[in-house]
Amino acid sequence: MLGRRTLPWERRLADGTPWLALLVVRADEGKIVDGTLQGLVGSGVVAALAANQPVDPNRPVRGLQIKDLATFRALLPGRADVALLTHVRRVNLADTALAGADDDGWFSVVTANRLPLAGSGPTSWTACLVSLEAREDAWSTTTGTPPTLVVLASWKFVTSSTGGTFERLAADLDVAAFGEPAAGAAPVLRPDGVVPLAGTARDGGPTAVGYRPPLLGPGTGATDDVTDAAAYELGRLLAAADGRFIREVVGWHRAAEATARSADTAARRATVVRDYLAGGARAQARRAALAGETAETLGYAPADVPETDGRQPQPLLAQALADRLFARTGQADLWQAPPQAAEAARTISSEEGERS
Please check whether residue 184 lies inside any domain of the structure: no
pLDDT score at 335: 45
* Percentage of residues of the chain with pLDDT beyond 90: 23
273 with 328, same domain? Answer: yes
Higher pLDDT, 323 or 203: 203
Q: How confident is the model at residue 270 (pLDDT cuts 50, 70, 90)?
A: low
Q: Give the Å distances, CA to CA, from 292 to 33, 298, 302, 322.
A: 85, 11, 8, 19
Please check whether residue 179 lies inside any domain of the structure: no
pLDDT score at 298: 46
| Averaged pLDDT of the chain | 76
pLDDT at 231 over 60: yes
pLDDT at 7 over 80: yes
pLDDT score at 122: 81
Q: How confident is the model at residue 328 (pLDDT cuts 50, 70, 90)?
A: low
End-to-end CA distance of the chain: 73
Q: Which of 142-146, 221-225, 324-328 has the lowest mean pLDDT?
A: 324-328
CA 322 to chain centre: 41
pLDDT at 264 over 80: no
Please check whether residue 266 lies inside any domain of the structure: yes
- CB count, 10 Å around CB of 128? 24
- Write out pLDDT tens, residues 102-139: 667 788 999 999 888 776 778 889 999 999 998 988 89
Residue ending a domain, choose from 239, 263, 293: 239
pLDDT score at 355: 56
pLDDT at 349 over 70: no
290 with 230, same domain? Answer: no
Whether residue 41 contacts residue 148, with contact meaning beta carbons closer than 8 Å, is answered with yes
247 with 232, same domain? Answer: no
206 with 311, same domain? Answer: no
DSSP structure string for 264-332: HHHHHHHHHHHHHHT--HHHHHHHHHTTTS-HHHHSS-GGGSPP--SSPPP-HHHHHHHHHHHHHHHHH
Q: Number of folded domains in the chain?
A: 3
Higher pLDDT, 143 or 129: 129
129 with 219, same domain? Answer: no
32 with 147, same domain? Answer: yes
| Range 208-225 average pLDDT | 77
Q: Domain residues for 251? A: 243-355
pLDDT at 154 over 90: yes
Q: Which of 67-76, 130-139, 182-191, 279-288 has the lowest mean pLDDT?
A: 279-288
pLDDT score at 137: 86
Question: Which of 25-29, 101-105, 162-166, 333-337 has maximum average pLDDT?
Answer: 25-29
pLDDT score at 299: 47
- Closest to 275 (Cα-Cα) out of 313, 321, 305: 313
